[in-house]
Amino acid sequence: MTSVAEGFYKQGKIELLQPPPGLPEGHVRVIVIAEEPTKPPPCLLTFGKYPGDTSTLEDFKEAQWHGAKE
């Protein structure tokens, strides 16, 4: 019988969050899933960010994405 149990791998050791249901012992195969690095916060354009910028508030409203047309 096969069962799946979640856990953590750290410094050469595996720690299960819960015992596999219905399996007192058995052989194991381990797949380590690397954690995705967290994404940095988005950088948003701000009004007057660049010197000499002649953008207006209306320019920003025109550039906003309002979803795909259906």
For every residue of 2-70, DSSP letters joined together read -----EEEETTEEEESSPPTT-SS--------PPPPPPPPPPPP-TT-STT----HHHHHHH-------
Whether residue 67 has pLDDT greater than 80 = no
Whether residue 20 has pLDDT greater than 70 = yes
Name which of 42, 2, 43, 6 is nearest 22 in CA terms: 2
Longest dimension (CA), the chain: 72
| pLDDT tens per residue across span 28-60 | 888 888 877 788 787 776 766 666 667 677 766
pLDDT for 63 equals 65
Mean pLDDT of 22-31: 83
Question: What predicted TM-score, i.e. pTM, was given to this entire model?
Answer: 0.40
pLDDT for 29 equals 86
